[in-house]
Each structure stands twice: as structure tokens, then as C-alpha cells.
Amino acid sequence: MLKVRQRFLTLCTVLLISQGSAADSLKDIYELALQSDPTLRAARANFQVGRETKNISRAYLLPVISASADFSQAERNSESSQVYSFISADPFVSKSFSDTDSTTYSVSLTQAIFDMPAWYQFQRGKALSKSATAQFAAEQQTLILRVSSAYLGALRAYDNHETRKAEQRAIQRQLEQTKERFEVGLLPVTDVHEAQAVFDDALVNSLEARGAVNIAFDALQVLTGKNHSVLSGLKDEFMAVNPVPLDSQDWVNFSLNNNYQLKVSELGKDASYNEAKAATAQLFPKVTANARYSDSDQDGTQVSYLPSISSSEISSLSDGHSFGISVSMPIWASGINAGRRQAKQRAIASSENFEVATRNTVQTARSRHQLVITNAARVKARNQAITSAESALGATQAGYEVGTRNIVDVLAAQRSVFQAKRNYANARYDYIFAMMSLKEVAGQLSPDDVYQLNAWLDPSLTVSK
């Protein structure tokens, strides 16, 4: 019997160790999402599209070199009849056949010397390529937030479920004790009904919390495309501290200088400005230089059959080059002025959108900074609330034993304890996400923040579905 017990304990130990080693961490989820998240892959493809805009627009300023080659082969039969009356009344007939091969080569070069629309379009392309880079950086930060939110959401749902189950067990024990006291006549039946109603409500809450756990774990699968059933929990030693620097204006300055969405808006404004300049420059003259070189070769044979047989060789060579400069300027073209006005209004709209983005960034930085400070204080207060709720529960139970408190008071005190524990867990997760959101708006969020948070996770604190 002792050997069987030892084997059972060894098997349980092995299972616990393997379960702990199989727990996925925030780092694991993030690195999988980097490769598998379709939203980020789409953003990466859009980044590659956007970065080519500069190269495409620059092409209109660079020389265009083209070459052509042409080969032709021609065969021709001819027959003619003429009458020379002063010589003879009979017609004079002639027949001939020719076979010629012609080869022609040419190379041409065209270069814009003065083309202001193309120049402004190039400036617009540069702004759009930089905007694509900033947008992709913003998407990378958004991925960190999405991964962190999903991971913390799973931990939050698990903790809520655990406290709901503990609350259900505690109320169930209280219900059993109430029934026992009722059976011996110490309590009225109303206490049993009240305890039963509270237990039924706790049971429903536990079922809802269980469903929330499954939903939260499914959110991780959306990011990685893989099933995750065990996660690493957050250590109890995790500390919520105020942001550094503490002054909100410092975070506002960080945001104005580094926020990627604000950079996207600013670069969009620059692109619209250059587009408006390009539309205005459509009325300017354009100067273009061109050069061309050609070479042609023709070989062949011509044979005459009548009035006598004779043959001759056909051969010709020619080459040449040309240089030129052309100037063109629109005198009147339908739609140019309308396009210029349209582009101007787009530039104005982009400028106003940038102003809106600037103000929103400032407001978001301040509100998130305040939220981090509030959540840091909330974590400490929620932790203290657990101690206070447990003390209140002890006092209520003591009063219940001596008859100064009823069953409703005890059940309410019990629920207050578990509510305090849920509030504490939620406060910790709210603080973490608020801190990462503050870094995101300030442009400071990076994978290092994921790895630093991952250091506060303990694989032995398994969180499972």
C-alpha cells in the first residue's frame, strides 16, 4: 500500500511539473503572434506597399532609356507592259523579282529638365513612404497592446472564476450549516430560504465566470492561431508604482514627439500639401530633353527576267543620331483648375485633421497618465480592502454565533470578502494595461515592456481553462 501511495505521489509530481513547463507565458504568446497574427501580417504587407510610393514617384524625375529592334523580310514579284509606238506596235513586257532583308536598331533617352508637378509628386511620395513606416510601427505597438490585453484578460477571467468558485463553496457550507440548525430548531425556515437564494445566485455567477474563462482563452487563439490551455500566472509580489517621470507634462511632450499615429497624421498633411502644389504646377511649363540613335541595314537581290535576265545586289547602310529639347505648356485644359481647387481643400482638411490628432494626443496622454496614478493607488487600496473585509467577516460571524447578527449579515460579509479579492485582482490587471497604454500613446512601448512584464509571471502559478 505504501508503494502504491509513493507511486501515486510521484505521478502527481511529474504531472504538476509537466503542466508547469507547458504553461505559455506572455513572451511565448507575443512571439507567436509576431509570426501568426493576420492583422500584423496585413500591416506588414501594407508597409511594403507604402514604402514603394517614393520609388514610383521618383521615376518621373529620372531618365527613361528605351531600345527597339526591328527585322523585316520582303519578297516582291512585279510585271509591267508598256507600248512604245515610235519603236513597235507590240507591247514591251518586263518581269522582275526582289528579295530584301531589313534590320533597324534604335536607342532613345528622355530626361525631364524642368517638371514641377513631378517634383512635388516625388515629395508627396517621400511623405507617404515615411507615413507607411510610422503606421507599421504603430501597428506593432498595437499588437503588444492586443496581446497584453488578451493575456491579462485570460488571467482576469481565471481569477474571477476562482473567487466565484470559492465564494460558491463558502456559501454552500453556510447553507448546509443553516439547514442543520433549522432541523434542530435553532433557526427559522426563512434563514434557509435566504441562504438558498444567495447560493443559487453564487452558482449562476460561477457558471458565467466559467464561460468567461473559455471566451478569454479563445481570444489568444485569434492572435496566434493555436490553442492555449495553460498560462503562467502573475506573481503576488508584483508592485504597482507611479509612472516615471511623474509629471504629466513630460508624458505629453513624449507623446507629441514620438506618438506614431500623430506622425502618420503629420506626414499625411505634408503629402496633401505637396499634392496641392503639384496640382498648381500643372499650369507651369515643362522642359524635356531627348536623344536618339538609330542604325539600319538593308540587304537583298533583284532579278529581272524580261526582256533579258539580269540580277543586281541591293545593299544599304545608314545610321544617325538626334538631340532635342522640347517645351510644353498648357494654354487651356478642362479640369486643371478644378483639380487645383480640390487638392487645396484636401490639404486644408489634412491640416485640420492633424490639429485634431494633436489635441487628442495631448488629452489621451494626460488621461492615461492620470489613470495609471489612480490605478496604482487603487491596487494598494484594494489590497487593504481584503484585510478589512476579512476582519468584518470575522466580527460578523462572531456576532452570528451569539445571536446579534443574522444569516443575511454573514452571507453579505462573505460575499464582500470575495468581491474584495476580485477587485484587487482586477485592479492589478487594470494598472498593467493602463501603464502599457500610457507608453503606447507616448511612443515608448516596445517588446522590452513585454519581456519586463513576463519576468513577473510564474510558470508554477498555472492558469488553465
Residue after which a domain boundary falls, among 328, 349, 383: 328
pLDDT value of position 3: 47
pLDDT of residue 317: 86
Query: Tell me, what's the pLDDT at 306?
Result: 56
Domain that holds residue 434: 21-62+115-285+334-464
Asked whether residue 129 falls in the same domain as residue 252, the answer is yes
347 and 321 within one domain: no
Contact 420, 381 (CB under 8 A): no
Q: Confirm whether 87 is domain-assigned.
A: no
Question: Helix or strand or coil: residue 163?
Answer: helix
- For residues 379 and 232, membership in a common domain is answered with yes
Q: Within this chain, do residues 141 and 248 fall inside the same structural domain, yes or no?
A: yes
Element (H, E) at 188: none
Q: How far apart are CA 317 and CA 298, in angstroms?
A: 7
Rounded CA separation 177/196 (Å): 11
pTM: 0.83
Alpha carbon of residue 185 to chain centroid: 67
Model confidence at 87, pLDDT cuts 50, 70, 90, reads: low
User: Exposure pattern of 24-42 as b/e (b: 16+ CB <10 Å)?
Assistant: bbbbbbbebbbeebeebee
**CA 404 to CA 55: how far, in whole Å?**
83
153 lies in the same domain as 275: yes
The reported pLDDT for the residue numbered 353 is 96
Which CATH number covers residue 379? 1.20.1600.10
Q: Is residue 104 part of a domain?
A: yes
Instruction: From 277, 301, 328, give the residue that closes a domain.
Output: 328
Q: How far apart are CA 400 and CA 385, in angstroms?
A: 22
Residues 243 and 324 occupy one common structural domain:
no
Q: What is the pLDDT of residues 208-256, one digit of tens each?
A: 999 999 999 999 999 999 999 999 999 999 999 999 999 999 999 999 9
Average pLDDT, the chain: 89
User: Does residue 14 register a pLDDT over 90?
Assistant: no
Sign of the C-alpha dihedral computed for residues 220, 224, 228 and 234 taken in this order: negative
105 and 56 within one domain: no
238 within a domain of the structure (yes/no): yes
In a domain, residue 16? The reply is no
Q: How confident is the model at residue 463 (pLDDT cuts 50, 70, 90)?
A: very high
Determine, yes or no, domain membership for 44.
yes
What gap in Å lies between CA 340 and CA 327, rounded to an integer? 22
Mean pLDDT of the region 181-206: 89
Q: Using 50, 70 and 90 to split pLDDT, how confident is the model at 465? A: confident
Examine residue 211 and state whether it is found in any structural domain, yes or no.
Answer: yes
Residue 8 lies inside a defined structural domain of this protein: no
Helix (H), strand (E) at residue 389? helix 336-402
Q: Give the total number of structural domains in the chain.
A: 2
Examine the domain organization and report whether 170 and 27 are in the same domain. yes
pLDDT on residue 26: 96
pLDDT in tens, 116-140: 999 999 999 999 999 999 999 999 9
156, 305: one domain: no
Residue 308: is its pLDDT beyond 70?
A: no
| Strand ranges across the sheet with 64-83 | 64-83, 91-114, 286-306, 310-328
Q: Which of 268, 303, 328 represents a domain boundary (last residue)?
A: 328
Distance CA 426, CA 430 (A): 6
Task: List the grid coordinates of 226.
Answer: 493555436
Residue 261, pLDDT above cutoff 50: yes
Residue, of 37 and 90, whose pLDDT is higher: 37
348-376 pLDDT, tens digit each: 999 999 999 999 999 999 999 999 999 99
Say what the pLDDT of residue 78 is: 73
Q: Which has the minimum average pLDDT: 57-66, 87-96, 362-371?
A: 87-96
5 within some domain = no
Question: Do residues 380 and 324 both lie within one domain?
Answer: no
Residues 119 and 224 in one domain: yes
CB-based contacts of 306-314 (< 8 A; 24+ apart in sequence) = 306/93, 306/94, 306/95, 307/92, 307/93, 307/94, 314/98, 314/100
Q: What is the mean pLDDT of residues 148-166?
A: 96
For residues 280 and 298, membership in a common domain is answered with no
